[in-house]
Amino acid sequence: MKKTLFFLAMLTFGISSAQEETKENKKVAVDFYIGIGLQAHDEYNLNKRLMNANVAEIETVMPELSFGLNFFGEKYSGDAEFGFLFSKNSFENTKNQYVGFTSRVRVHYNLVNKEKVAFTTGLSLSSTSSDLSIYSRNNVIDFNDLNPANNGGQIRIRNQVFYAGPSVSVYLFKNKKVRLNAGYDFAFTNGRWKSDYASTQNRVKENGNNRFVFGISLL
């Protein structure tokens, strides 16, 4: 629920900016886009606990697949975006699998706006939900004995972090059909890890786990 309200607020902010731009200049281009990129995080606080337990740690650099809507006007530009993250890692007799979902809104001011190139900068607001599974390499599930008490060896936890930070975009080629994005996101919520399947003790928070974001999109 919090995630939905947060994204709706971000989307409303972006739409409001686009509407203001439309009032000043009717020529606002709106394009669907798809892109690839990466997120490079500071070290996860959870990784310290995983390392102490000789368990596979979360990768701090992950590829991201994204899609969304981009708007570009005379003075302002921005986008509403959804991104998907995935990584796997292994160490000794353990493995992990990480899946992340990001919703993001950017609102930029166009510093340079030419036919074949544009440079914009502004604010990025985003939210990332993470799901992490940690398990033993040699897990065996016996379908003749599906009692959970007899089938251990796996931990599944999740968290959610909200971010805000500066971002820049460069648009290239005729009609600005290629966009490069870069930004630095500051985490402003604690991102506490929790479980839907068990009670938790000695919880870990991801306070200050900021990240660098880069992406290339085709409009």
Region 24-43: mean pLDDT is 88
Q: Which domain holds residue 16?
A: 2-218
CATH number at residue 90: 2.40.160.20
pLDDT, residue 8, reads 52
pLDDT, residue 159, reads 96
User: How many structural domains is the chain composed of?
Assistant: 1
pLDDT, residue 17, reads 52
Model confidence over 171-188: pLDDT tens digits?
Answer: 998 888 999 999 999 999
List helix spans (H) across the chain. Answer: 2-24, 45-52
Region 117-132: mean pLDDT is 96
Model confidence over 126-166: pLDDT tens digits?
Answer: 999 999 999 988 888 889 888 887 877 889 999 999 999 99
Model confidence over 1-29: pLDDT tens digits?
Answer: 555 555 555 555 555 555 554 444 458 99
For 211, counting Cβ atoms within 10 Å of its Cβ (0-12 exposed, 13-18 middle, 19+ buried), the class is buried
Which helix or strand (DSSP H or E) is residue 218 part of? Answer: strand 211-218
